[in-house]
């Protein structure tokens, strides 16, 4: 008896078409963005840079200008990314988009990955000690098992 394997022709490219990276301004998220940028460049993929804007009802109730603060963070991240892209222009070409999604980091990144049809997700390792016990966003994304997840230290 011989086994027959069905071979199906694949169109397009090998590798990811959309690489999503979560950024929040932390050093590890910026290292993740740099790593993801290199992946996107080598794979000729779109780099989707995502900032999850926290929804803090408690902060708003205390009179803290939460929305303004998170908008400023998003604007600052866009400025940093544009600056880095401009410095690398002509050396490395990377197609990228910046997106903000509301919510907590895990659910925001899941929603972003689904809506943007991400093929891979890159995040920075948590810099908070409590996450070693409770579980970080990165661990939760890996456990979701829906995309390849790269965690950058």
Q: Which carries the bigger pLDDT value, residue 128 or residue 62?
A: 128
With beta carbons less than 8 A apart as the criterion, state whether 145 and 113 touch. Answer: no
* Overall average pLDDT of the 39-63 stretch: 77
Question: 3 or 79, which is more confident?
Answer: 79
Average pLDDT score over residue span 86-108: 78
Residue 55 has pLDDT above 80, yes or no: no
pLDDT score of 27: 85
Residue 113 has pLDDT above 50, yes or no: yes
Asked if residue 46 lies in contact with residue 96, where contact means CB atoms within 8 angstroms, the answer is yes
pLDDT given at position 133? 47
Q: What is the mean pLDDT of the chain?
A: 78
Structure tokens given for 84: 């880095």
The answer for residues whose C-beta is within 8 angstroms of residue 43's C-beta and 6 or more apart is 13, 15, 16, 19
Look at the block and give the residue holding tokens 């996450």: 131
**Helix %, strand %, coil % of the chain (to 5):** 45, 20, 35
pLDDT at 87: 64
Question: What pTM, to 2 d.p., does this model score?
Answer: 0.73
Using 50, 70 and 90 to split pLDDT, how confident is the model at 125?
confident
pLDDT grade for 110, boundaries at 50, 70 and 90: very high
At 144, list the tokens.
């979701």
Question: What integer is the mean pLDDT of 56-77?
Answer: 61
Which pLDDT belongs to residue 80? 75
The alpha carbon of residue 85 and the mean position of all alpha carbons in its chain are separated, in whole angstroms, by 17
Given a cut of 70, whether residue 3 has pLDDT beyond it is no
């Amino acid at each position: 008896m011989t086994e027959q394997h069905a071979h199906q022709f694949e169109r397009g490219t090998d590798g990811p078409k959309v690489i999503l990276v979560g950024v929040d301004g932390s050093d590890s998220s910026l290292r993740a963005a740099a790593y993801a940028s290199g992946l996107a460049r080598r794979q000729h993929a779109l780099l989707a840079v995502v900032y999850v804007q926290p929804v803090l009802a408690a902060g708003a109730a205390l009179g803290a200008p939460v929305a303004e603060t998170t908008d400023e963070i998003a604007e600052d991240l866009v400025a940093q990314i544009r600056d880095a892209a401009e410095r690398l222009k002509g050396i490395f070409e990377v197609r990228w988009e910046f997106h903000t999604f509301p919510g907590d980091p895990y659910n925001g990144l899941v929603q972003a990955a689904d809506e943007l049809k991400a093929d891979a997700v890159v995040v920075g390792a948590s810099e908070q000690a409590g996450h070693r016990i409770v579980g970080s966003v990165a661990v939760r994304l890996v456990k979701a098992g829906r995309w390849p997840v790269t965690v950058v230290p």
